[in-house]
Amino acid sequence: MTHEKQQYNIFNVIHDRRSIRKFIDKEIPKDVIDQILTAGFRAPFAYQITSVVYTTDKDKMKQLKRMGIYPSTQLFMVFFFDFNRMNKIVQARKYEYDFDDSLLLWIGLQDVALVSENVTLAADALGLGSVLLGGAPLMVEQIAEVFNLPAKVFPVVGLCLGYPDPDHRMEVRPRFPLKYTAFEDKYKELTDEELKECMQSMDEGYITQGYYIKQNAKIPLAKGKDTIDMDKYSWCEHISRKISQGKWSEKTLLDILRQNGFNLK
Ligand SMILES: Cc1cc2nc3c(=O)[nH]c(=O)nc-3n(C[C@H](O)[C@H](O)[C@H](O)COP(=O)(O)O)c2cc1C
């Protein structure tokens, strides 16, 4: 496919993108994957700390599923902080690696986020769809085994890609209106009334789309009787239940990073 300007309007691609969770069984040509990744790595970078491992291998997909990672697609990618390559570059230049890893992680996170965002947009522009999988850092051991990772190559986020199933086309999801997220000259604390409107704008949008009903996704309450029916259950309730759950896993992400060789005092 050629990159003719009239074919892709970046604003159309951005505004039409939505996460896709159901894909048809259609092979993704290698040159399409290469185009998407090449566009991904055109993102701005601070340290070029990103690496990607991708697979279309059915056995690897099965292996991932057995381990609790559900690619459910033809093409699965994982985006990594690659401190291994960085370390080698430093050594090749005859320096000793001595850095505050917390800073490098922070910078790296931004590098990886920009690459993965470019990848999602490039994929959409070529008629594919995608959904990110945020649990990747907590599955580092499994991902390391499947993808043969050396030390200090750490998963940030997974991405399922494929051709969208037209029978399961999701709608474009709402966002907070700009007046609650973008402020000119100084930060603005929202009044109670504004916060209510801000929350309503998301909740009404999700309820109109029947989003959580279609997804059959409701986070159970840790305690007490759940009095919110599915037709009233919406984004603010969902995110609040997530954020009030305490730890996601036995180990915190900091514990996991330290175990993986990062110097975080
Ligand atoms: C860092 C990150 C992690 C995500 N992890 C998941 C995930 O594990 N499973 C999932 O279904 N969607 C995941 N998503 C997709 C979001 O749910 C989705 O982007 C959000 O609901 C907005 O919808 P939209 O992408 O359709 O606009 C993730 C998105 C981001 C940015």
User: What is the per-residue pLDDT for 258?
Assistant: 92
240 DSSP 8-state letter: H
The closest-lying atom of ligand 1 relative to the alpha carbon of residue 18 is 26
What average pLDDT does this structure show over 118-132? Answer: 97
List strands edge to edge, sheet with 50-55.
50-55, 75-82, 153-162, 129-133
For residue 222, give both structure tokens.
Answer: 């840790």
Categorize the per-residue pLDDT at 7 as very low, low, confident or very high, splitting at 50, 70 and 90.
low
For ligand 1, atom 20, the nearest C-alpha belongs to 19
Query: How far apart are the CA of 255 and the centre of ligand 1, in A?
Result: 24
Q: Is the pLDDT reported for residue 4 higher than 60?
A: no
- Entry pTM: 0.93
Determine the residue type at 226.
D
Ligand 1 proximity of 22 Cβ (cutoff 6 Å):
no
Q: Write down the pLDDT at residue 83.
A: 94
CA nearest to 149, candidates 132, 134, 135, 137 = 137
Give 84's contacts (C-beta < 8 A, 6+ positions apart).
Answer: 150, 151, 152, 153
Residue 246's pLDDT band, with cuts at 50, 70 and 90, is confident
Q: Which of 81, 105, 167, 168 is nearest to 131 (CA)?
A: 168
Ligand 1 site, residue 60, Cβ cutoff 6 A: no
Distance 91 CA to ligand 1 centre (A): 37
Of all atoms in ligand 1, which is nearest to the CA of residue 113?
A: 1
Residue 47 phi/psi, 5-degree rounding, is: -130, 5
113 lines ligand 1 (CB under 6 A): no
137 or 223: which carries more pLDDT confidence? 137
Q: Is 170 helix (H, G, I), strand (E, B) or coil?
A: coil
Asked whether the predicted pLDDT for residue 264 surpasses 90, the reply is no
Taken in order 82, 88, 94, 99, the sign of the CA dihedral is positive
Portion of the chain with pLDDT greater than 70, in percent: 97
247: pLDDT confidence band, cut at 50, 70 and 90?
A: confident
Q: Which residue has the higher pLDDT, 258 or 1?
A: 258
Q: Sort 67 into a burial class: Cβ within 10 Å, 0-12 / 13-18 / 19+.
A: middle
- Which residue in 131, 184, 180, 182 sits closest to 159, CA to CA? 131
Cα-based angle 158, 81, 151 (whole degrees, multiple of 5)? 105
Q: Which of 132, 160, 170, 219 to mutate to test the pocket of ligand 1 (most atoms within 8 A of CB)?
A: 132
Residue 132 Cβ contacting ligand 1 at under 6 Å: yes
> Is the pLDDT assigned to residue 26 strictly greater than 60?
yes
Where does the chain show beta strands of DSSP type E?
A: 50-55, 75-82, 129-133, 153-162
**Among protein residues, the one whose CA lies closest to atom 30 of ligand 1:** 132
Judge if the beta carbon of residue 135 lies within 6 A of ligand 1. yes
- The set of residues, in sequence order, having a beta carbon less than 8 Å from that of 181 and lying 6+ positions away, is 175
Predicted confidence (pLDDT) per residue in 138-165, tens digit: 999 999 999 999 999 999 999 999 999 9
Our mutation pick for probing the ligand 1 site, out of 15, 16, 19, counting the most ligand atoms within 8 A of Cβ, is 19
